[in-house]
Chain A
Amino acid sequence: MNATDTQIIRGKVYVAGDNIDTDQIIPAQYLNLVPTIPEEYTKLGSYALCGLPDTCLPFIQPGAVTSEYTILVAGRNFGCGSSREHAPIALGAAGIKAIVAESYARIFFRNAVATGEFFPFETARRLCDTFQTGDEAILDLKAGTLTRAPSRETFALNPLGAVAPVVAAGGLFAYARQTGMIGKKG
Chain B
Amino acid sequence: MAMTITEKILARAAGKTRVIPGDNIWVKVDILLTHDICGPGTIGVFQQEFGKTARVWDPDKVAIIPDHYIFTRDVKAHRNIDTLRQFVQEQGIRHFYDPAESTYRGVCHVALPEVGLVCPGTVIFGTDSHTCTHGALGAFATGIGNTDAGFILGTGKLLIKVPKTLRFRIDGTLPPRVMAKDIILRIIGDIGFDGASYCAMEFTGDAIAALSIEERMTICNMAIEAGGKNGIIAPDEKAFEYIRARTSAPLDPVYGDPDATVEHEWRYDAATLVPCVAEPHVPSNYAPARDRTGVKLDRAYIGSCTGGKITDFRAAAQILRNHKVSVPTFLVPATVEVAEALLSETFDGRSLVQIFADAGCEEIAPPSCAACLGGPEDTYGRTSGSEAVISTTNRNFIGRMGSKNSRIWLASPLTVAASAVTGHITDPRDIS
A contacts, CB < 8 Å to B: 19, 21, 23-24, 27-29, 31-37, 51-54, 76-77, 80-86, 88, 103, 105-107, 110-111, 114-115, 162, 171-173, 176, 181-182, 185-186
6 sampled A-B residue pairs with Cβ under 8 A: A32-B37, A32-B74, A51-B404, A52-B398, A107-B144, A171-B147
State how many angstroms separate the Cβ of B351 from the closest Cβ of chain A. 32
In contact, B129 and A107 (Cβ under 8 angstroms): yes
Cα–Cα, bound, A130→B40 (Å): 40
Which of B24, B129, B155, B376 contacts A32 (CB under 8 A)?
A: B376
In contact, A29 and B197 (Cβ under 8 angstroms): no
In contact, A77 and B148 (Cβ under 8 angstroms): no
State how many angstroms separate the Cβ of A118 from the closest Cβ of chain B. 14
Chain A residues near B144: list those with CB within 8 A.
83, 107, 110-111
In contact, B24 and A85 (Cβ under 8 angstroms): no
B contacts, CB < 8 Å to A: 24, 26, 37-38, 40-41, 44-45, 48-49, 51, 68-69, 74, 76-77, 80, 83, 126-129, 131, 143-148, 151, 154-155, 157, 159, 161, 193-194, 197-198, 224, 227, 229, 282, 373-377, 395, 397-400, 402, 404
Chain A residues near B76: list those with CB within 8 A.
32-34
Chain B residues near A21: list those with CB within 8 A.
395, 397-398
In contact, A24 and B147 (Cβ under 8 angstroms): no
Cα–Cα, bound, A113→B124 (Å): 21
Cα–Cα, bound, A173→B147 (Å): 8
In contact, B41 and A35 (Cβ under 8 angstroms): yes
Give chain A's interface secondary structure class.
loop
Cα–Cα, bound, A117→B106 (Å): 32
State how many angstroms separate the Cβ of A57 from the closest Cβ of chain B. 15
The verdict on A19 contacting B193 (CB below 8 Å), with A28-B373, A29-B377, A107-B145 known, is yes
Chain A residues near B83: list those with CB within 8 A.
34
Chain B residues near A162: list those with CB within 8 A.
24, 161
In contact, A111 and B147 (Cβ under 8 angstroms): yes
In contact, B377 and A84 (Cβ under 8 angstroms): no
Q: Which residue of B lies closest to A186 (CB)?
A: B51
Chain B residues near A34: list those with CB within 8 A.
40-41, 44, 76, 80, 83
Cα–Cα, bound, A176→B224 (Å): 27
Chain B residues near A54: list those with CB within 8 A.
404
Chain B residues near A77: list those with CB within 8 A.
193-194, 197, 227
In contact, A114 and B229 (Cβ under 8 angstroms): no
| A-B Cβ contacts below 8 A, count | 147
Cα–Cα, bound, A176→B155 (Å): 11
In contact, B404 and A81 (Cβ under 8 angstroms): no
Chain B residues near A29: list those with CB within 8 A.
374-377, 402
State how many angstroms separate the Cβ of A22 from the closest Cβ of chain B. 8
State how many angstroms separate the Cβ of B82 from the closest Cβ of chain A. 12
Cα–Cα, bound, A80→B281 (Å): 12
State how many angstroms separate the Cβ of B83 from the closest Cβ of chain A. 8
Which of B126, B227, B397, B399 contacts A106 (CB under 8 A)?
A: B227
State how many angstroms separate the Cβ of A148 from the closest Cβ of chain B. 27
Chain A residues near B159: list those with CB within 8 A.
172, 176, 181
In contact, A27 and B374 (Cβ under 8 angstroms): yes
In contact, B398 and A24 (Cβ under 8 angstroms): yes
- Which of the listed residues B38, B147, B376 has the most CB atoms from chain A within 10 Å of its own CB? B147
In contact, B194 and A23 (Cβ under 8 angstroms): no
State how many angstroms separate the Cβ of A178 from the closest Cβ of chain B. 12
State how many angstroms separate the Cβ of B94 from the closest Cβ of chain A. 24
State how many angstroms separate the Cβ of A58 from the closest Cβ of chain B. 13
State how many angstroms separate the Cβ of A169 from the closest Cβ of chain B. 12
In contact, A80 and B37 (Cβ under 8 angstroms): no
Chain A residues near B194: list those with CB within 8 A.
19, 76-77, 80, 103, 105
Chain A residues near B397: list those with CB within 8 A.
21, 23-24, 81
The verdict on A103 contacting B197 (CB below 8 Å), with A23-B395, A32-B376, A111-B145 known, is yes
In contact, A106 and B229 (Cβ under 8 angstroms): yes
Q: Which residue of B lies closest to A24 (CB)?
A: B398
Cα–Cα, bound, A84→B149 (Å): 11
Chain A residues near B229: list those with CB within 8 A.
106
Cα–Cα, bound, A63→B129 (Å): 32
Cα–Cα, bound, A52→B193 (Å): 18
- Which of the listed residues B51, B80, B145, B376 has the most CB atoms from chain A within 10 Å of its own CB? B145
Chain B residues near A106: list those with CB within 8 A.
197-198, 227, 229
Q: Which residue of A lies closest to B39 (CB)?
A: A34
Q: Which residue of B lies closest to A113 (CB)?
A: B147
Cα–Cα, bound, A67→B85 (Å): 36
In contact, A172 and B151 (Cβ under 8 angstroms): yes
Chain A residues near B377: list those with CB within 8 A.
29
